[in-house]
Structure 1
Amino acid sequence: MQAGERMKVTQIEEVSKSRVRIYVEDEFAFVLYKGELRSFHIREGEEIEQECYEEILTKLLPKRAKLRAMNLLKTREYTVKQLQDKLKMGGYPENVIEEALAYVASFHYTDDLRYAVSFIEGHSDNRSRRRIEQDLLRRGIDRSTLEKAWLQWEEQGGDQDEQKMIQALLAKKGFASDKANLKERQRMYGFLMRKGFSGEQVRRAVLKEMGDWL
């Protein structure tokens, strides 16, 4: 918004009983509480003052986004991407989100490497490596951080025995390789593959001496 420029509030849309979504010149601008709407004298069809517009974008919303991020992190740890998505859901503009993320990162409240190592530690005995990686990638952890996390976990003494995990799952399912017929083996093979275990590990556990029929 240039100095002296005035823009029209083209739509005010209710989000909840307490919040509204503001559109300026037919484009989404931000979300405000209804009390703030009155405080800033914002009305649909009327112009918004430059000073008011800038105060909302540079003071009000960044402060609120930082508090929102901090409150989210009080209950659990988030990846940067997860926190970003949460703030987007709250209707914060992109530049406000970036400011809030930088703020919490400056206090080391977010750390994707720390998150990934912790996640691996918590699931290494019940999820395959591939499944863990898929889960972390969905949470916004990039490949480089993922590799560093595995290395750090292993350097700290972490170890994973996928064959042992498979055997535990087979026992839980009541599967006996020496008694299972072809259909049962195929079903169990698919089940373990969907769990993220490698084909080689699954074949060792399910097929044994029956030959490679896949």
Structure 2
Amino acid sequence: MKITKIEVQKKNNDRVNIFIDDDFAFSCSTELVYYHNLKSGKSAELSEIQKIVDEDNYIKCKNSALKYIEKAYKTEKQITEKLIDKEYPENAIKRTIEFLKEYKFIDDYNFLKIYIRENCTKLGKKKIKYNLLRKGIEEALIDVELDGVSSSFEEKSCEKLAQKKYDSLKNSDTSYMKVYKKLGDFLLRNGYSSDIVSETLKRVVAKEDFKAEGNEERKHNSYEELFILAQKRYNLLISKEKDKMKLLKKLYDYLIRRGYSYEEVKTVVKELINTD
């Protein structure tokens, strides 16, 4: 086999098309042409061609990864998944990841510390852990770093976030219970535990900030209605969840999300369990 033609691509001057025995064979970067001393009339062995193709795939894969991390720090898993989606060969991806690690473009432990530092004022530990696990960070590493975030700091962060959200909600909704529920759901979605959310709602949401509620809402708040609601949910959960502690937590979370206070839920659940 003999290289019969090397031409620069029209849309990309950094790449060339290689023709062997007058037929198109492959394309590669111009730097590989110089590196392998490719020129018209030179004999080309199959093994040499494969080596060039592999090297070209690696260069493209590496450049793609570097472009991906230009705007934001990424984990090894995120970059690997991105390169797989782009259908780069396994060997090219492996070499790229090794390169990125060697030159500190990838450092999952450093990513972990930065992520916690940047998000611990707006997300609870549960949401932070969930997000980091999805990004491929080891659970043991996450737990160690999250232990450094004190409970008091998380509580203060939750309250600050809640106050900001509360000020927005109460200006757009005149219903105490609706605001209470919306704010509770918002904080739970952001990864704060039901205990922290409950205590935060007590400190932030004030009934005097709202007009008197109508008969329908007072009925919603009635002890009897709460008990019936709790009983229905309890009967549904007990058929699926055998662990009592998990069952009670799910029941508490459900009722709090419906807008009831922690103390109201605690009283009803206690009676419900005693009568079961």
TM-score class, shorter-chain normalisation, is 0.5 to 0.7
Secondary structure at the residue paired with 1:205? helix
CA-based RMSD: 3.6
| Residue 132 (structure 2) aligned to one of 125, 136, 140 | 136
Partner of 1:68: 64
Q: Is 2:190 the partner of 1:205?
A: no
TM-score normalised by length of structure 1: 0.64
Amino acid of the residue matched to residue 58 of structure 2? P
Amino acid of the residue matched to residue 25 of structure 2? I
What are the residue-to-residue correspondences of 1:159-170 with 2, within 5 Å?
159-160=153-154, 161-164=156-159, 165-170=161-166
Partner of 2:82: 86
CA distance in 1, matches of 2:104, 2:93: 17
1:141 to 1:51, Cα distance in 2 relative to 1, 3 A: same
Partner of 2:49: 52
Preserved contact between residue 122 and residue 158 of structure 2 (Cα < 8 Å):
no
| Structure 1: runs of 5 or more not aligned | 1-17, 20-32
Q: Is 2:24 the partner of 1:41?
A: yes
Preserved contact between residue 79 and residue 139 of structure 1 (Cα < 8 Å):
yes
Preserved contact between residue 75 and residue 111 of structure 2 (Cα < 8 Å):
yes
TM-score normalised by length of structure 2: 0.52
Q: Which has the larger radius of gyration?
A: 2
| Structure 2: runs of 5 or more not aligned | 1-10, 27-44, 202-259, 270-276
* Per-residue Cα deviation, 1:5-34 (whole angstroms, up to 9, x for no partner): xxxxxxxxxxxxx79xxxxxxxxxxxxx99
What are the residue-to-residue correspondences of 1:97-136 with 2, within 5 Å?
97-136=93-132
Q: 1:187, CA displacement in angstroms?
A: 4.2
Amino acid of the residue matched to residue 41 of structure 1? F
Partner of 2:37: none
| Residue 195 (structure 1) aligned to one of 182, 190, 204 | 190
Partner of 1:8: none
Preserved contact between residue 117 and residue 150 of structure 1 (Cα < 8 Å):
no
Higher relative contact order (CA 8 A, sep 6+): 1
Preserved contact between residue 131 and residue 196 of structure 1 (Cα < 8 Å):
yes
Aligned residues: 173
CA distance in 1, matches of 2:163, 2:197: 10
Secondary structure at the residue paired with 2:70? helix
Q: 1:85, CA displacement in angstroms?
A: 1.7
Identity of aligned residues (%): 17
1:94 to 1:49, Cα distance in 2 relative to 1, 3 A: same
